[in-house]
Amino acid sequence: MGSSAAISYRILISTTGTKSTCGTAMGRRFLGTRKLTEDGTTLYFRGLRIYEAVIDELMEKGLTNATQALFTGCSAGALSMMLHCDDFRARFPQEVSVKCFADAGFFLDEKDISGKRSLWSLYDRVIHLQNVRKVLPKDCLANKEPTECFFPAELIKSIHTPMFILNPSYDSWQIRNVLVPDSSAPDKSWLSCKENIRNCNSTQVEVLDGLRNKMVNDLKVVEDKEDWGMFIDSCFTHCQSLSGVSWHSPTSPRLENKTIAEAVGDWHSGRSQGAKEIDCMYQCNPTCNSLPPPRDVTAFDHVEIY
């Protein structure tokens, strides 16, 4: 991880099947566990079983001998990783260092500009269609609806394994699909702004600031988690650990003069165990300006084990 301890090997498991070394993950996000028959057609949601089978096989092939492990994912893969983080930790002896790293998986329960809870509705359908309750935290389910427990703002309250959260506060995917989905702006007045934040007018930037403030508020619980870390920059992008340009380069985003790789490396190695950095609002961080316009990263949703 950047300048941190050496990495012995890397295994990539894709939630979309595009880069899988262990087979396609049916049941989005390694969560589903349901057999459904409708109109004579049977659907099998087996994401959870695939996750368990893959991890079991990796343990048999030598992962059980690891002295340290970092469980990480990007986008939907980061959310999946959060839901499995404590289970992954429980598979190792206590003396093994196990940590989790979530890149661009802090999805928000935020209304879109038309007033609809678009992402809530999507998650609610996923939970019921695929029978996802089994992986949701029991302490959360005791007091809240399953859909609420699926969102990271509630989910992280129940995670005990040390975790680092990397997320842009002006998350391009969430701006395009949660805050301003196409259905919320049929007049296309937001089209240029969604493509590149530099095209947004002052009124639109104020709306985006609201999304950023929601994320910062939802992350306050992390401040009380001593062995957790955060890098919340104000860049208009999504996954940042997949590209060397954003991860660690002369033009990488920086907070407190550290690149993402340096911040994660310091946290992972214990050099700065409680590193929690939240950027100021849009246009205040010049190191964001070197990033290219974000692209659709759906094909890169993944879970990794280092």
Q: Poorest-confidence range of 88-97, 119-128, 217-226, 266-275?
A: 266-275
Active site amino acids? 75, 171, 238
User: Could you tell me which residue, 293 or 222, shows the higher pLDDT?
Assistant: 222
pLDDT above 50 (res 49):
yes
Banded pLDDT at 24 (limits 50, 70, 90):
very low
User: Rounded CA gap, 119 and 135, in Å?
Assistant: 19
Task: Return the closest-CA partner of residue 129 out of 108, 150, 112, 111.
Answer: 150
**3-state SS track over the chain:** CCCCCCCCCCEEEECCCCCCCCCCCCCHHHCCCEEEEECCEEEEECHHHHHHHHHHHHHHCCHHHCCEEEEEEECHHHHHHHHHHHHHHHCCCCCCEEEEEEECCCCCCCCCCCCCCHHHHHHHHHHHHHCCHHHCCHHHHCCCCHHHHHCHHHHHHHCCCCEEEEEEEEEHHHHHHHHCCHHHCCCCCCHHHHHCHHHCCHHHHHHHHHHHHHHHHHHHHHHHCCCCEEEEEEEEECCCCCCHHHHCCCCCCCECCECHHHHHHHHHHCCCCCCEEECCCCCCCHHHCCCCCCCCCHHHCEEEEC
pLDDT above 60 (res 57):
yes
Query: How high is the mean pLDDT of the chain?
Result: 85
User: Could you tell me which residue, 77 or 43, shows the higher pLDDT?
Assistant: 77
Predicted TM-score of the model (pTM): 0.86
pLDDT above 70 (res 28):
no
